[in-house]
């Protein structure tokens, strides 16, 4: 049974384009009247807009926010806060502006209204990271949590793409680490997984340049969800490393997250397989760490600490700092492990895949698919490439073993060996796997007003003997006589005259003529033609259920899977009238056996018909002793 604790962080969220205009109302809502506006150097325009929207409520302005919340900056801002006698701060900017607001709040107790312009997510946490003399320290305090956050996507709409990418990966990191945090619980899991999905989608749109205001709005929502995770769940190796690197080597915050995240995930992959599988599923990739790395590459984000200015000779010290104090992380932190992780991060290498085989197979699949690139027929190229993709995926998903695949090859070989002109094992295989019925549905069932089709089956023989109307196709074989009286029309009910109609069926014991070498055939099959009224009459015998040939590999498969080989009793028709859609179908005997478990999945409701028992005079005056059956049916063909 799951046990967990969850403390919600009580922040008020105001979300939507144009909500910056609500800032005065939000300050008033807190009962505050004197706001100090905090903005980022170089982003004064945001500060101006907020000041304007605040009107008289704005009493001061500080534009000196800096990354990692240096204490000396906070001291200067504090002087300004006291000088203007502010009772709240309104910060507009990225995590740096938020950090300064928090630093002021924890020192003075002033209320905070935050308008984030990046996806840092810090606005919904009670955490504060500050730097002093090159060292970053973090603390948590309820007073740090901002009272109100106004998420206005228009503020981040112009966030330059490179900053947007790293900022979104910064948010992604909060969601990822929340999923394997010791504080994880179902609420956090849901928030984190949604964050992963929405941030990944946003990153893809940043990658392909289709990020409009909607996409930016989604990224902001992802940032909020991920920030909420960061606020309630303890973070692991990744955040620790980023703090160490950022604080000690003065590396840019979000970019450092972007480089380190895939490497830290790979480090934890074996120790947190469930979290990784859930992340991979939301990313839509086989392996989470390489999936994130590839996403960063596609979006043009940084992949190496080298490009962020990290000196190579600082790596040893970074390992030292990262392993100095143990803290919760799924995989134990070893010097060796950290050294390798940081080496890769410094060089920007793709992390080792938690699913190395998956990526090897993916590369192979890609190569095989590309081998069809020169195919002249695009349909053939597409079908083959997709077939290869699915077959490789099948092998991968089931971790297919050599001996299992050899069994499959042997199966197909035996199917080939047993196949002759009159024994079609591959048709049986297609039929018993339902593929024939699926293709039949796709090909022939798009017009509900026509008669349903059914599979051709393995016993059709091209060019059957031409027979006259009224013929008895059973040629005197034993069985209950059956008089067939069918009509062929178009979908308007207009008769289709002179339509060639091939019919074939099994004998009383369930065998087709081609299965009986001693029989002087062809029997129980023939080609007849409709008369001027589209009508066709002939005699035969009542078909009975029969097993499909079960002495080959398909029969072995049926036995192995506990399936019976029987087909429900039926009569085959192939109608190929000029100017009309060809119809291949079967009529099933209502009340016959196996209608609901037909071995080839061929039965359709409208094809189950009455073979009416009769005695006495027959329609054409033929003498029949005892019971005979009568089948009447109208086939409706689509005109071409």
Positions in the binding site for ligand NAD (CB under 6 A): 40, 42-43, 67-69, 93-97, 99, 117-118, 120-122, 125, 127-129, 155-156, 158-160, 163, 167, 170, 230, 253-254
Whose Cβ is closer to ligand NAD: residue 140's or residue 447's? 140
Find, among 603, 589, 567, 598, the residue nearest to 633 by Cα. Answer: 589
**Smallest distance, ligand NAD to C-beta of residue 249, A:** 14
Q: What's the CA gap between 205 and 256, in Å, rounded?
A: 22
- The nearest distance, CB 322 to ligand NAD, in angstroms, is 17
Residues in Cβ contact with 326 at an 8 Å cutoff, skipping those fewer than 6 apart = 333
Shortest Å, Cβ 270 to ligand NAD: 27
Residue showing the smallest CB distance to ligand NAD in the complex: 95
The answer, yes or no, to whether the previous bond of 387 is cis (omega within 30 of 0) is: no
Tell me the C-alpha distance between 158 and 148, whole Å.
23
What's the min distance (Å) between Cβ of 4 and ligand NAD? Answer: 22
Nearer to ligand NAD, 129 or 202 (CB): 129
- Any idea which residue has 């506990």 for tokens? 562
Please identify, using beta-carbon distances, which residue of 74 and 117 lies nearer to ligand NAD.
117
Q: What is the DSSP string of 217-229?
A: HHHHHHHHHHHHH
User: Distance between CA 513 and CA 533 in Å, rounded?
Assistant: 31
Cα(483)–Cα(472) distance, rounded to whole angstroms? Answer: 9
Closest distance of CB 239 from ligand NAD, Å: 9
Minimum Å distance from CB 262 to ligand NAD?
A: 18
Nearer to ligand NAD, 114 or 496 (CB): 114
Q: Which is nearer to ligand NAD, 146 or 286 (CB)?
A: 146
For residue 608, give every residue at least 6 positions away whose Cβ sits within 8 Å of its Cβ, in sequence order, or none. Answer: 588, 589, 590, 595
Q: Is residue 51 exposed (0-12), middle (13-18) or buried (19+ Cβ within 10 Å)? A: buried
Q: Counting every residue, how long is the chain? A: 640
- Minimum distance, C-beta of residue 90 to ligand NAD, in the bound complex (Å): 15
Which CB, 158 or 320, lies closer to ligand NAD?
Answer: 158
The DSSP bridge partners found for residue 628 are 614
| Nearest residue (CB) to ligand NAD, 121 versus 302 | 121
**Can you tell me the distance from the alpha carbon of 204 to that of 161, in angstroms, rounded to the nearest whole number?**
12
Cβ 115 to ligand NAD, closest distance in Å? 10
Task: Reduce the secondary structure of 154-207 to three states and give it as a string.
Answer: HHHCCCCHHHHHHHHHHHHHHHHHHHCCCCCCHHHHHHHHHHHHHHHHHHHHHH
Give 115 or 454: the residue with its C-beta nearer to ligand NAD.
115
């Amino acid at each position: 049974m799951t046990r967990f604790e969850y403390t919600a962080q009580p922040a008020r969220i105001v979300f939507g384009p144009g909500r910056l205009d609500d800032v005065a109302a939000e300050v008033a809502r807190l009962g505050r009247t004197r706001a100090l506006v905090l903005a980022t150097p170089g982003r004064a325009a945001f500060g101006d807009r907020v000041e304007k929207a605040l009107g008289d409520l704005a009493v001061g302005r500080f534009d000196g926010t800096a990354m990692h919340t240096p204490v000396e900056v906070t001291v200067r801002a504090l002087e300004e806060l006291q000088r203007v006698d502010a009772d709240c701060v309104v910060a507009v900017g990225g995590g740096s502006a938020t950090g300064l607001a928090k630093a002021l709040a924890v020192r003075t107790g002033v209320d905070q209204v935050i308008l984030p312009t990046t996806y840092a997510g810090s606005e919904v946490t009670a955490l504060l990271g500050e730097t002093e003399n090159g060292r970053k320290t973090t603390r948590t305090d309820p007073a740090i949590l901002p009272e109100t956050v106004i998420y206005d996507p228009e503020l981040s709409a112009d966030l330059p793409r490179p900053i947007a990418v790293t900022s979104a990966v910064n948010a992604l990191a909060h969601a990822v680490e929340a999923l394997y945090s010791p504080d994880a619980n179902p609420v956090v899991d849901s928030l984190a997984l949604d964050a992963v999905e929405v941030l990944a989608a946003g990153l893809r749109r940043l990658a392909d340049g289709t990020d409009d205001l909607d996409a930016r709005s989604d990224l902001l929502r992802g940032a909020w969800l991920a920030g909420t995770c960061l606020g309630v769940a303890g973070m692991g190796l990744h955040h620790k490393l980023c703090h160490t690197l950022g604080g000690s080597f003065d590396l840019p915050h979000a970019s450092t997250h972007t480089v380190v995240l895939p490497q830290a995930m790979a480090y934890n992959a074996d120790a947190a397989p469930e979290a990784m599988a859930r992340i991979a599923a939301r990313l839509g990739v086989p392996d989470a760490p390489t999936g994130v790395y590839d996403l960063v590459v596609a979006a043009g984000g940084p992949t190496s600490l080298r490009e962020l200015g990290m000196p190579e000779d600082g790596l040893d010290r970074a390992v030292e700092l990262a392993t100095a104090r143990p803290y919760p992380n799924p995989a134990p932190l070893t010097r060796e492990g950290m050294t390798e992780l940081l080496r890769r991060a410094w060089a920007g290498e793709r992390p080792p895949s938690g699913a190395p085989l998956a990526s090897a197979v993916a590369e192979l699949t890609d190569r095989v698919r590309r081998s069809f690139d020169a195919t002249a027929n695009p349909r053939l190229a597409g079908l083959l490439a997709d077939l290869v993709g699915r077959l490789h995926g099948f092998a991968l998903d089931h971790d297919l073993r050599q001996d299992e695949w050899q069994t499959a090859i042997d199966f197909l070989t035996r199917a080939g060996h047993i196949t002759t002109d009159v024994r079609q094992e591959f048709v049986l295989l297609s039929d018993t796997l339902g593929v024939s019925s699926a293709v039949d549905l796709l090909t022939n069932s798009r017009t509900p007003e026509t008669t349903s089709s059914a599979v051709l089956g393995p016993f059709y023989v091209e060019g059957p003997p031409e027979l006259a109307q009224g013929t008895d196709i059973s040629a005197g074989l034993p069985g209950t006589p059956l008089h067939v009286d069918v009509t062929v029309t178009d979908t308007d009910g207009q008769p289709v005259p002179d339509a060639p109609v091939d019919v074939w069926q099994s004998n009383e014991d369930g065998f087709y003529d081609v299965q009986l070498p001693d029989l002087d055939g062809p029997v129980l099959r023939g080609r007849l033609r409709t008369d001027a009224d589209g009508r066709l009459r002939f005699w035969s015998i009542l078909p009975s259920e029969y097993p499909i040939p079960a002495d080959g590999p398909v029969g072995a498969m049926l036995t192995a899977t506990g399936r019976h080989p029987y087909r429900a009793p039926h009569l085959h028709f192939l109608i190929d009238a000029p100017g009309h859609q060809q119809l291949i179908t079967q009529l099933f005997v209502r009340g016959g056996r196996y209608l609901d478990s037909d071995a080839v999945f061929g039965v359709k409701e409208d094809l189950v018909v009455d073979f009416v028992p009769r005695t006495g005079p027959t329609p054409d005056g033929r003498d029949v002793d005892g019971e005979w059956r009568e089948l009447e049916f109208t086939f409706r063909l689509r005109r071409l």
